[in-house]
Amino acid sequence: MRLPSLPTVRLIAHAHCDLPCGVYDPAQAHIEAESVKAIMEKYQGNDDPTFRARALVIKEQRAELVKHHLWVLWTDYFKPNHLEAHPGLHDLFWRATKQAGAAGGKGSVDPAEGQKLLDLIDEIAAIFWTTKKAA
C-alpha cells in the first residue's frame, strides 16, 4: 500500500545574517577578555602553586571563549560589504584571535598582553557599531 504524497511547500528566505542581527555583539568577547586580563593580574599577585595552576586553566578557557565569540562575529555577522568599507578588518580579526590564543591570552600571564587583547576587541567593536549604524 502506498501512502499518499504530501504537498511540498517551498519557501525561500533571504537575510543579511543567520538570525536577526540583534544577537551579535562584541561585548561577549570583551567580557571574556576582561576575565583573561583579571586572571593574569591575580596570577601575578599570588605565589600559591595550586592557585596558579587553577588560574591558568580558567584563563585558557576564557581565552578560548574570546576566540569563539570573535569567530562568530567574523563568520556570521561581517559580510563582504563590511570588508570593502573597512579593508583592515580581516587583519584585525586575525591579530585579535592570535592575541587571544598562544600569542597572548592562552600563552601569557602578563596583564599587558591581556590589555592588548582588549584593545583589539575595542577596535573591532568600533567597526561593528559603525556597521550597525549603517544598516
Query: Is 23 within 8 Å of 90 (Cβ atoms)?
Result: no
pLDDT at residue 23, as a whole number: 78
Compute the CA torsion angle 35, 40, 41, 46 (nearest 10 deg): 120
In which band, very low, low, confident or very high, does the pLDDT at 50 lie, cut at 50, 70 and 90?
Answer: very high
Q: Residue 49's Cα: distance from chain center in Å?
A: 30
pLDDT at residue 71, as a whole number: 96
* Stretch 92-113: mean pLDDT: 94
Q: What are 61-77's pLDDT values in tens digits?
A: 999 999 999 999 999 99
* Stretch 95-123: mean pLDDT: 95
**CB neighbour list of residue 26: distance below 8 Å, 6 or more residues apart:** 69, 70, 73, 121, 124, 125, 128
Rg (CA), the chain: 20
Q: Is the pLDDT of residue 7 over 70?
A: no
Architecture (CATH level 2) of domain 23-134: Up-down Bundle (1.20)
d(CA 74, CA 60): 21
* Stretch 109-131: mean pLDDT: 97
d(CA 68, CA 60): 12
